[in-house]
Amino acid sequence: MKQAPALFFAPLVLAALGFSAVAQLQPSAAHLWRESQKPDDSSIARFTLVGKFLKSPQGDVPNRPALVLDCNPTKMSHKSEGKFVAGNLLVGIPLKIDYIEPEEIHGTSYYPKVVVHYRINDAKEEEERWTPGTDKFSATISKDWVKKILRARTVEVSTHDDRGNDIAIQFDVPDPGPVEAACNVDEHK
């Protein structure tokens, strides 16, 4: 049996290497803001960014963590005048709820909060207290926090589950263009 000349296989090898390089440059589907419509209100655009657990919660978690932003993307002539409606961090398990005493006490009310630590890129870790969702599996995020993270490469968020176990989540933040336009959250305006 004769061996084929190396020159015959060289174009095939170079083509295969070229395809793998192109595939690596394209962002994976998990690292894109996926746009859909809010199930109960078709005028609201929903943007979802799926993350990954760095420290997984104990037990079975049916879904990956996600950031979900709801916006009303109204357009007036050539400008976008979108409006941020709501934002949530979906974790998929019950979160630890702390009851925070308000600065001024009127009666005996305390505010339920989820204590969250986050790090944008490699910056110093910061702490915030977010309002838990009614299901206790999520926390509400503010428009100001969304503005902070949109231009980041990575965002790490850590909190605790209802048993006090650590949970750490990482989001690889893609191009913010569609979210900034639809939600009117461009930090540079």
pLDDT value of position 40? 86
Q: Is residue 143 part of a domain?
A: yes
| Residue 14 placed within a domain | no
pLDDT of residue 30: 54
Q: Give the residue among 181, 189, 170, 167 at the shortest CA–CA distance from 47.
A: 181
Q: How far is CA 64 from CA 22, 84, 90, 92, 183, in A?
A: 27, 24, 8, 7, 24
Residue 10 resides in a domain:
no
In a domain, 19, yes or no: no
* Domain presence at residue 17: no
In a domain, 24, yes or no: no
- What pLDDT shows up at residue 105? 65
Tell me the CA distances in angstroms from 8 to 12, 13, 64, 151, one per residue in order: 8, 10, 46, 47
pLDDT confidence of residue 106: 65
H runs (alpha helix) in 29-111: none
pLDDT at 115: 95
The domain of 47 spans 29-183
Instruction: Say how far residue 156 (Cα) sits from the centre of its chain.
Output: 10
Q: H or E element: which one contains 115?
A: strand 111-120
Look up the CATH number of the domain holding residue 172. Answer: 2.60.40
On whether residue 22 sits in a domain, the answer given is no
Residue 141 lies in a domain: yes
Helix (H, G, I), strand (E, B) or coil at 113: strand
Number of domains composing the chain = 1
Residue pair 125/117 in contact (Cβ under 8 Å)? The answer is: yes
Going from the first residue of the chain to its last (189 residues), give the mean pLDDT of each consecutive group of 10, the final group possibly shorter.
Answer: 46 40 44 88 92 86 91 68 92 91 69 95 95 94 94 95 94 92 75
State how beta strands 79-80 and 75-76 pair.
antiparallel
